[in-house]
A and B are shown apart, each in its own frame.
Chain A
Amino acid sequence: MDTWTLLLEGFATALQPVYLLYALLGVLLGTAVGVLPGIGPAMTVALLLPITYALEPTAAFIVFAGIYYGGMYGGSTTSILLNTPGESASIVTALEGNKMARAGRGAAALATAAIGSFVAGTIATVLLTLLAPTVARLAVSLGPSDYFALMVIAFLTVGALLGDSAWRGMVSLSIGLFIGLIGVDSLTGQARFTLGIPQLGDGIDVVLVAVGLFALGEALYVGSRLRNGEIPIIPITRGWRTWMRRSDWARSWKPWLRGAGIGFPIGSIPAGGADVATFLSYATERSLAKGEYRKQFGKGAIEGVAGPESANNAAAAGVLVPLLTLGIPTTATAAIILSAFQTYGIQPGPRLFDTQPALVWALIASLFIGNAMLLVLNLPLVGMWVKLLQIPRPYLYAGILVFAGLGAYAANFTVFDIAVLLVLGVLGFFMRRLGFPIAPLVVGAILGPMAEEQLRKAMQIGQGDPAYLVHSPFSIVAYALLALIIALALWLKRRRARFEAALPSIDTTTIAAVDEEIESHEPHPELDRGRLSTRAVPLQRGGADPDAEPGPGRDPDRDRDA
């Protein structure tokens, strides 16, 4: 059967009402947690791992796919509308998007982010559909030494490219590898680092590692220095149909496509994930912009939102290529999804497309469906999500702790795991305080045992000769590429750090003035659209008058400062 037949069958599965509901649940959860500050997709998937104990695999992966894509959409809303630094994957969006919002163009920024995410997400999912079966076919011939090479790439790129410095990433990675070693060795039956505690014999459950470091560690860390008082949310206008001006569309569509083109390949090679892709897209858009548009960069240029947001989503789809076809996770979220596969006894890899075609194609089909749902959820209904930003933080983080406890307890139903979780949570807490990245640790803990298995297999085949590890052309090319990727990415990272350090702070009136000047040259100037409406969203929880919501469509304040 060819790809399209299989994909259609996948749609037949994913379009069943119950699976549509699971997809909706996934994208709702994903967007919610993407919007909520402090919660990322990695943490959400970790917190929801317990559902794998109860749901059948197809349903569980449709939920996870929804969360995965949804988290990417939600993050941009937060970084555009909240006037504080956000997550690193969307920080480039905050660069321009937040400035646009401050100049009263937040709605346009949200719209170009959502539509761009949809366009790029769809293109990237099509590419995934076309590419994944081919990669899987090629990967069938890979031997243990090739896999080991791929895993080393994943380790070193994730470790070296995240966080303040490469060495801090390596520290985090080696702690993760160590956690992965704890337990009885599967090949020789010898206990390693169990300290004689019987509960550690099976090793530390991956759920505990993920939940402890992401959920508990984050909750403790945020709790220790929780921001007092309100975080100002920048209000947006009502009437989403008029959010984007004619000129916004004209300026956005090319960055969307370029973002997809940049994001997908970078996502599918292990090169530090979405971070690198968004920055590359931003740099590209800035250098391609002409004249006055270029001068607007740093002062709310819409290209600087459209491109990176598309790149971000396309990279998210790209990450699924190595995950599904090789079983190699290149981000923390992908590593946790991989462990969910393992909970079901399913091993992602080249054989996955042969052994579990129904599951894989339903999953891919649900990515298309989820993407379409997300566009609806994020354009007309964006106001609903903005209200989520007003959840009182004490309750939000206390709720995260409850779900962390649930995840830990449901793994084995022993309270011993609560203690293990707390130890890991405290470790995550200090790592965050002291500038060690978390993702390498999680990737190391999940991928480490698999890498050791492949290494031992390879050594067995090679009869103990280490040279066997580099005997195949594939592994030689892989190691050469590794050096290249790391060198390039470190250079890019340095450039990005310099760039971010050099950014001047600009006041809101300048941003608005630049925007108005540009718009007045347009053939069809639409100056008054996207004006600030202070009433669309109450600024303060409980403080604003609930009756002050204006009727749909018209904004009473639109001429106020025109």
Chain B
Amino acid sequence: MSTAPAGAPTGASAAARSARIEAMVFVGLLVVLAIAVLISTTTIREPPGSTNTLGARVVPYAVGGLLLLSSLVVLVGQLRGRFGHAEEGEDIDLEHGTSWGSTGIVVLSFLSLMLTIPHLGWPLGVAILFTGASLALGAKRWWLAAAIGLALGVVTQLVFGTLLGLSLPATGTLTSWIGL
């Protein structure tokens, strides 16, 4: 089944310029990573007189080498115009562009957990994450998103924290006055 809809980038020739640049940068970074792996492997200390016939460096060298080789092959392939195809799925629209704005907000919402879990506690942190992410993804009513988020936070707190005994903080440093 030809799964790519008409008009979408179906191959190297049709791939947009920005997508090509993105692919080259990504694979380029992988090449850099591979070289970094190989260089930093030389700094892994091998304890003298170790009884191991295979030290701590051998496998890292092999992995770094495999990464370097494979990313170079892909890089050369891309220079010749063989680019990868973006993953397809039922909910994925490849015809239109990427909405970087909403992706950024989703990332920030997720990152907010680093602050909200210690300071506001798990349920409120979940509420903020859920509200931010669902609004960024196109939810229409903010109060509904916030209500679902808060409910999800409380339910996961009860099921995983109280029932299953994971130590999720119910409140944080800023909300300890709630007193649960």
Contacts and interface: CB of A to CB of B under 8 A. Distances in A.
Contacts of A222: 89, 91-92
A459 interface: yes
A464 B51 CA distance: 11
A178 B63 contact: yes
Nearest to A159: B70
Interface stretch (A108-116, A347-355, A393-401): A393-401
A78 B136 CA distance: 26
A398 B90 contact: no
A82 B89 CA distance: 11
A492 B165 CA distance: 49
B130 A401 contact: yes
A240 to B, nearest CB: 24
Contact of A190 (B3, B47, B87): B47
A223 B108 CA distance: 13
Contact of A464 (B53, B118, B148): B53
Contacts, number: 266
B174 interface: no
B156 A402 contact: yes
B138 A395 contact: no
A415 B90 contact: no
B30 interface: yes
Interface string A398-423: 11011111100110010100110010
A226 B54 contact: no
A188 B59 contact: no
Main secondary structure of the interface of B (DSSP, over half): helix
Contact of B133 (A50, A171, A397, A463): A397
Given A171-B30, A188-B50, A426 B137 contact: no
Contacts of A519: none
Contacts of A188: 46-47, 50, 52, 55-56
Contacts of B56: 185, 187-188, 190, 192
A221 B126 contact: no
Given A221-B87, A402-B156, A434 B164 contact: no
Given A415-B118, A433-B22, A460-B52, A426 B84 contact: no
Interface residues of A, number: 90
A456 interface: yes
Interface residues on B, range: 35 or more
Given A54-B166, A167-B70, A455-B59, A395 B53 contact: no
A363 B34 CA distance: 41
Q: Which of A78, A394, A413, A463 has the most CB of B within 10 A?
A: A394
A403 B33 CA distance: 30
Nearest to B74: A167
B52 A435 contact: no
A216 B103 CA distance: 11
Contacts of A463: 53
Interface SS of chain A: helix
Interface string A120-148: 00000000000000000000000000000
A503 interface: yes
B24 to A, nearest CB: 10
Contacts of B52: 187-188, 456, 460
A342 interface: no
B178 interface: no
Interface stretch (A86-94, A241-249, A369-377): A86-94
A550 interface: no
B59 A435 contact: no
A224 B26 contact: no
23 contacts: A38-B92, A50-B166, A54-B164, A54-B166, A85-B89, A164-B84, A168-B70, A178-B63, A221-B87, A223-B99, A223-B133, A227-B91, A394-B135, A398-B133, A404-B110, A410-B168, A415-B118, A418-B111, A432-B87, A434-B84, A435-B84, A500-B3, A503-B1
